[in-house]
């Protein structure tokens, strides 16, 4: 196969775009897709303070690299979750994130969940008897927003890709979780109650493409799957969507952007009417109840310890 731009030997095929690219024109394609998403949804401006949630995986590292190439100044924050012990999954991911930042002279802040809040994700999952991914998601959402807010960042940038967002939408639609469907948008605006503007510039980029980008760019990333995701519903939904995508390239993109273009505003308006935010009585962050879920988790972990 030959690159559709320069006719040199191709490095990757993107079936939903009916296109094949050489390495350099694939990089151009990735930058254009991210730039287009930022522009279309008015996600952020170059003069704003940007904080990227970095996991050490392919998506966040590819996004950090692309945003830097586009001229954005972006700081990173890594949350040490304590998964896998001293030399396990979290430690390995952290080293990769730190090495990436060091090589490019970027600012990476590290927040250790155990040091700052008194527990690791495996400990919280065991104590609360909740699915680890649920506890992890709750903790990361809280900590990332708290860091962005307290340290004066204008925008919190997340590395959620096309596959992530399509699977999330599918899962919430199957259960008709109206609250989560109403919140699934490319941009979640800032509020007066301490919620920092959150954006997802990788909406048009598939998981396979961020992996290819990292490989072709020589970016080392965490290739192992988190050991706690076994049986995760989101993983199964991704597998189902991949099977459909193989038979009908572009299906995931049509599903997600059909929702965003035609229905998301209606769900968002309904969600805003139903949800009233107040200040958490413990930490002051936005919540729908007297005390936020993360503070309740902290109390339970403290009592359990």
Q: Is residue 18 part of a domain?
A: no
Q: Which two tokens stand for residue 296?
A: 């309740």
Q: Is residue 37 part of a domain?
A: no
Q: Is residue 7 part of a domain?
A: no
DSSP assignment of the chain, as one string? -B-TTT-SBPSEEEGGGTEEE-HHHHHHHHHHHHHHHHHHTT---TTS-EEEEE-SSHHHHHHHHHHHHTT--EEEEEEE--TTSTTSHHHHHHHHHHHHHHHHT--EEEEEHHHHHS--HHHHHHHHT--HHHHHHHHHHHHHHHHHHHTT-SEEE----HHHHHHHHHHHHHTT-HHHHHH--SEE---TTSPPEEE-TTTT--HHHHHHHHHHHT-----SPPTT-TT-HHHHHHHHHHHHHHHSTTHHHHHHHHHHHHTHHHHHHHHHHH---EE-TTT--EESSSS-HHHHHHHHHHHH-
| pLDDT score at 284 | 86
| pLDDT score at 274 | 55
Closest CA to 189 of 49, 41, 46: 41
Q: Is residue 36 part of a domain?
A: no
Q: Is residue 168 part of a domain?
A: yes
In sequence order, the β-bridge partners of residue 20 are: 13
Max CA distance (Å), the chain: 65
In this structure, what are the phi and psi dihedrals at residue 49, rounded to the nearest 5 degrees? -85, 120
d(CA 234, CA 231): 9
| pLDDT score at 229 | 82
HSE-CB for 59 with a 13 A CA cutoff: 21
| pLDDT score at 272 | 59
In this structure, what CATH number is given to the domain that contains residue 133?
3.40.50.620
Q: Is residue 262 part of a domain?
A: yes
Kindly list the averaged pLDDT for each block of 10 residues, start to end, along the chain of length 305.
94 95 98 98 95 98 98 97 88 96 97 94 92 92 95 97 97 91 92 88 97 97 89 87 96 96 83 70 86 92 73
Closest CA to 81 of 144, 4, 146: 144
| pLDDT score at 111 | 96
Whole-number Cα distances in Å, 283 to 80, 146, 188: 21, 10, 21
**Structural domains counted in the chain:** 1
In sequence order, the β-bridge partners of residue 157 are: 52, 199
Q: Is residue 38 part of a domain?
A: no
Domain limits for position 100: 43-222+230-304
Q: Is residue 48 part of a domain?
A: yes
pTM (2 d.p.): 0.93
């Amino acid at each position: 196969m030959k690159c559709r731009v320069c006719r040199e030997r191709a490095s990757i095929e993107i079936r939903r775009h009916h296109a094949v690219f050489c390495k350099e024109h694939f990089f151009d394609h990735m930058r254009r897709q991210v730039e287009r998403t930022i522009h279309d949804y008015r996600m952020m401006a170059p003069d704003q303070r940007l904080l990227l949630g970095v996991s050490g995986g392919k998506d966040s590292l590819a996004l950090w690299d692309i945003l830097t190439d586009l001229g954005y100044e972006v700081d990173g924050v890594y949350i040490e979750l304590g998964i896998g012990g001293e030399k396990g999954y979290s430690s390995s991911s952290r080293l990769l994130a730190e090495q990436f930042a060091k090589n490019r002279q970027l600012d990476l802040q590290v927040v250790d969940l155990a040091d700052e809040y008194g527990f690791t994700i495996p400990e919280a999952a065991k104590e609360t008897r909740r699915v680890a991914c649920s506890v992890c998601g709750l903790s990361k959402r809280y900590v990332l927003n708290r860091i962005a807010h307290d340290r004066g960042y204008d925008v919190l940038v997340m590395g959620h890709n096309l596959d992530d967002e399509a699977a999330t939408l599918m899962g919430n639609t199957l259960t008709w979780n109206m609250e989560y469907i109403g919140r699934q948008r490319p941009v979640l605006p800032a509020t007066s109650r301490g919620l920092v503007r959150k954006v997802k510039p990788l909406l048009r980029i598939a998981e396979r493409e961020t992996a290819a980008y990292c490989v072709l760019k020589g970016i080392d990333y965490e290739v192992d799957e988190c050991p706690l995701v076994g049986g995760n519903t989101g993983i199964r939904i991704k597998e189902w969507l991949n099977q459909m995508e193989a038979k009908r390239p572009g299906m995931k993109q049509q599903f997600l952007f059909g929702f965003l273009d035609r229905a998301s505003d209606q769900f968002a308006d309904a969600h805003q009417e139903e949800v009233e935010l107040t200040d958490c009585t413990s930490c002051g962050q936005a919540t729908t109840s007297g005390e936020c879920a993360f503070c309740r988790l902290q109390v339970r972990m403290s009592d359990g310890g």
